[in-house]
Amino acid sequence: MVGTSHDRLSGTGGLPMKTATADQRVKPPEQRPRRAHPWAWFFLAPAFLVLLTFDYWPLLRTFFLATQGTDLFGAPSGFVGTDNFELMLTDPRFWNTILVTFIYTGASVVGKVLIGLAIAIPLSSRLKGTPLLRSIVLIPMAVSVAVAALVFKMMFQPGTGLFDQISGLFGAGPAGWLTQPQMALLAVVIVDVWCGLGISVLLLLAALDGVPEEVMEAAQIDGTGTLQRLWHVKLPLITPTLFFILITQSIAGMREFTVINLLTGGGPGTATNTLVIDIYKTAFGSGTSDYGAAAARGIVLLLIIVTLTFIQMRVLERRVHY
Amino acid sequence: MSNTTKTPKTMGTSKTTERSSAQRINWRSTPTYVYLTVVALLVAGPVLFAFVGAFTPTGTIIGGGAPWFTAWTLENFSTAFRNSPLLAQFGNSVLVTLAQASLQLVTSLMAAYALVFGNLKRPNLVLAFFLVTMMIPSETTIIANYLTIRSIGLFDTLIAVFIPFATSAYAVFLFRQAFKSFPKEIHEAAVLDGVGPVAFLFRFLLPLNKPIVMTISLVSAIAAWNGYLWPLLITESPSSRTVQVGVAALSDSLSVDVGSVLAGLAFVSLPMLILVIFGQKFLTKGLTQGAVK
């Protein structure tokens, strides 16, 4: 349960970057057996209790729920083994959901990284006045996803919204932002990219600023052009950060609910029906309430997130590049 | 926390900047400026749109879309407040945010302190207990948590909104990293002098780690204020909704009154905009450390 509290900002669906190396420290040198201070467990207790109640226990319960059938009234109808998984995996709608989830996540991660770079690179070139610009770019971090989604929804309104009005100036008709399947998917990606832009630019700026001046000067003396330096020197030097953004934002994208729920509710049809939206609808949607099927989908989400986190730890052990 | 990462801000005003920008007065960087200004406008666009629209008489928000600077009004705000319990929900959100952020702070401070100074036999195992939870997506456990909250009778209460987030493994981890650099000998000496663990935590560790405490409080508060899925699920009556869920309902009910919806949205986003502007230093520092080598 804890994951949600920070993921949008710091992308901590995954582990922070230093975990992998931080713990391989030397063992404490002392010879006598260690005995915990009596107060230590008392200090750990509140946090333990919360995590046990709202993370570990519900995780177990989710696995249990996934083996339970559901009757017409939404009440559990007893043990059904792997039925929920079999039904899910043979349902073409489920595979469509997975496809939509990956397209949505992939597109928004690519958007965040590319647009993030397009903003961070010129910003990091140490011009006068950039502190102000740097602050402005952080604005998306301050605006809640719900508010952002609702503002964009207004701008996406067919005909009267800002986007259709602007395209109208060029003689184009309404684009069907939230009503055409592909446009709707594009719309939710745009909003998600905007929401994640602040943190993406922030991290990229810190990385770009961290590239030592001497390295760039050396490259310049060697007679490389600006673009060459960018491509062959700067970008390789910030690959750890690029990778960090890639993974954490992938995790965030896989888990995004607010943007899609508020803009399209998963529609039109199933065009924006991602895994998380599907879990929510299956468990709490109007009419249906199938906790078993929803729990099975929840476990799929868990597997995806755990996989992404392990990739992150693996690659970090190898120290992406330097 | 004592990371070598330089914040963008300090770099932006470093000596090299002043020198180079004084040398070539900018003709070459004009395109960059133009480009960056356009980018800034695009990024800030939705927020500008909301704030300008919030003060524009609804009729003159052309076609319900683009707001223009024709006249100013506060009418939109009063309409929004009249048509929805947004003010009361604002109060709910303040309560939830304060409760969640302070609980996270206290529980994770205590846990991190025990991890570093508690002389635990297997501290890494205990740390793993925290870190593993960061891999569990709350969307997976949401059904089970919903059932738990219902069965203990907390459904549709404000407590239900923040209690699952009463601690944060991420905060525990960050505090632990910060505390680890504190000399163990000082702790031993203080304990020998009869300083109790609670006193040590509050009199030594907290004052010495103010920046990270600020950062974590800020991040916790923002996350608490911005919560959407869980509050949407676990509350039902308008009077126990948080402001994020409330403003979504407002936007549905007043969808033709664009100005009032934008007023509601501007109102809801104001506290965090202010907090982020003033806490920018702590945010940039805290969020980039750990991510940038």
Tell me the chain A residues in contact with residue B9 when contact means C-beta distances shorter than 8 Å. Answer: 131, 134
Chain B residue with minimum CA distance to A147: B265
- Report the pLDDT value the prediction gives residue B4, as an integer from 0 to 100: 42
Tell me the chain A residues in contact with residue B36 when contact means C-beta distances shorter than 8 Å. Answer: 119, 122-123, 127, 130, 133
Among B44, B111, B136, the residue with its CB nearest the CB of A139 is: B44
Tell me the chain B residues in contact with residue A308 when contact means C-beta distances shorter than 8 Å. Answer: none
- Report the pLDDT value the prediction gives residue B61, as an integer from 0 to 100: 58
Tell me the chain A residues in contact with residue B276 when contact means C-beta distances shorter than 8 Å. Answer: 138, 141-142
Contacts of A62 (CB under 8 A, 6+ apart): A295, A298, A299, A302, B140, B141, B143, B144
Containing H/E element for A76? strand A76-79
The answer to whether B169 and B130 have CB atoms below 8 angstroms apart is yes
Q: What tokens were used for A19?
A: 């975990």
How much helix, strand and coil, in percent to the nearest 5, is found in chain B? Answer: 75, 0, 25
Q: How confident is the model at residue B14 (pLDDT cuts 50, 70, 90)?
A: very low
Nearest to A140 by CA among A112, A163, A110, A166: A112
- Report the pLDDT value the prediction gives residue A314, as an integer from 0 to 100: 84
CB-facing half-sphere around the CA of B145: CA atoms within 13 A? 29
Question: Is the CB of A146 less than 8 angstroms away from the CB of B228?
Answer: yes
Tell me the chain A residues in contact with residue B143 when contact means C-beta distances shorter than 8 Å. Answer: 58, 62, 65, 279, 283, 291, 294-295, 298
Tell me the chain B residues in contact with residue A255 when contact means C-beta distances shorter than 8 Å. Answer: 137-139
How far apart are the CA of B100 and the nearest CA of chain A, in angstroms? 10
Quick one: average pLDDT of B173-189?
88
If one compares B138 and A124, the residue with the highest pLDDT of the two is: B138
Question: Is the CB of A128 less than 8 angstroms away from the CB of B220?
Answer: no
The answer to whether B221 and B168 have CB atoms below 8 angstroms apart is no
Give the strand pairing for A76-79 and A68-70: antiparallel
Question: Is the CB of A164 less than 8 angstroms away from the CB of B65?
Answer: yes
Chain A residue with minimum CA distance to B107: A47
Quick one: average pLDDT of B247-275?
89
Q: What tokens were used for B202?
A: 């509050």
ipTM above 0.95, yes or no: no
C-alpha A233/C-alpha A214 separation (Å) is 12
Question: Is the CB of B44 less than 8 angstroms away from the CB of A136?
Answer: yes
- Report the pLDDT value the prediction gives residue A4, as an integer from 0 to 100: 44
Please report how the helices B210-226 and B258-278 are oriented relative to each other, as an axis angle in degrees rounded to 10.
170
C-alpha A74/C-alpha A94 separation (Å) is 20
The answer to whether B76 and B259 have CB atoms below 8 angstroms apart is yes
The answer to whether A279 and B229 have CB atoms below 8 angstroms apart is no
The mean of the pLDDT values for chain B is 84
> Which residue pairs, CB below 8 angstroms and at least 24 apart, start in B255-259?
B256/B64, B257/B58, B257/B76, B257/B79, B258/A154, B258/B53, B258/B58, B258/B61, B258/B64, B258/B65, B259/B53, B259/B54, B259/B56, B259/B57, B259/B58, B259/B61, B259/B67, B259/B73, B259/B75, B259/B76, B259/B79
How far apart are the CA of A182 and the nearest CA of chain B, in angstroms? 22
Optimal mutation site among B127, B129, B138, B175, interface A, most CBs of chain A within 10 A: B138
Give φ, ψ of B208 to 5 degrees.
Answer: -80, -15
Tell me the chain A residues in contact with residue B226 when contact means C-beta distances shorter than 8 Å. Answer: 8, 144-146
Please report how the helices B86-117 and A38-51 are oriented relative to each other, as an axis angle in degrees rounded to 10.
140
Tell me the chain A residues in contact with residue B137 when contact means C-beta distances shorter than 8 Å. Answer: 3, 13, 251, 254-255, 298, 301-302, 305
How far apart are the CA of B21 and the nearest CA of chain A, in angstroms? 7
Among B13, B39, B168, the residue with its CB nearest the CB of A131 is: B13
Chain B residue with minimum CA distance to A158: B65
pTM over 0.80: yes
Q: What is the pLDDT of residues A102-119, one digit of tens each?
A: 999 999 999 999 999 999
Q: What tokens were used for B153?
A: 């009778």
Tell me the chain A residues in contact with residue B167 when contact means C-beta distances shorter than 8 Å. Answer: 2, 46-47, 50-51
Residue B235 has pLDDT above 80, yes or no: yes
Q: How far is CA A251 from CA A109, A203, A310, in A?
A: 10, 16, 12
Nearest to A11 by CA among A192, A262, A260, A266: A192
Give φ, ψ of A68 to 5 degrees.
Answer: -105, 140
The answer to whether A2 and B145 have CB atoms below 8 angstroms apart is no
Q: In chain A, which residues have pLDDT < 70?
A: 1-34, 72-74, 126-129, 317-322
- Report the pLDDT value the prediction gives residue B17, as an integer from 0 to 100: 44
C-alpha B49/C-alpha B61 separation (Å) is 11
- Report the pLDDT value the prediction gives residue B22, as an integer from 0 to 100: 46
Chain B residue with minimum CA distance to A260: B229
Nearest to A68 by CA among B183, B5, B144: B144
Question: Is the CB of A36 less than 8 angstroms away from the CB of B119?
Answer: yes
C-alpha B190/C-alpha B178 separation (Å) is 19
Q: How confident is the model at residue B67 (pLDDT cuts 50, 70, 90)?
A: low
Quick one: average pLDDT of B211-215?
90
- Report the pLDDT value the prediction gives residue B293, as an integer from 0 to 100: 41
What amino acid is encoded at B12 in this protein? G
Question: Is the CB of A130 less than 8 angstroms away from the CB of B36?
Answer: yes
A211 DSSP 8-state letter: S
Question: Is the CB of B262 less than 8 angstroms away from the CB of A276?
Answer: no
Among A50, A131, A157, the residue with its CB nearest the CB of B65 is: A157
Nearest to A85 by CA among A273, A308, A295, A302: A295
Residue B47 has pLDDT above 80, yes or no: yes
Tell me the chain A residues in contact with residue B227 when contact means C-beta distances shorter than 8 Å. Answer: 4-5
Nearest to B5 by CA among A18, A285, A229: A18
- Report the pLDDT value the prediction gives residue A161, as an integer from 0 to 100: 80
How far apart are the CA of B131 and the nearest CA of chain A, in angstroms? 7
- Report the pLDDT value the prediction gives residue B73, as an integer from 0 to 100: 82
**SS3 labels along B224-239:** HHHCCHHHHHHCCCHH
Q: How confident is the model at residue B59 (pLDDT cuts 50, 70, 90)?
A: low
The answer to whether A134 and B280 have CB atoms below 8 angstroms apart is no
- Report the pLDDT value the prediction gives residue B60, as an integer from 0 to 100: 59
| A98-129 per-residue burial string, b: 16 or more CB within 10 A, e: under 16 | eebbbebbebbbebbbebbbebbbbbbebbbe
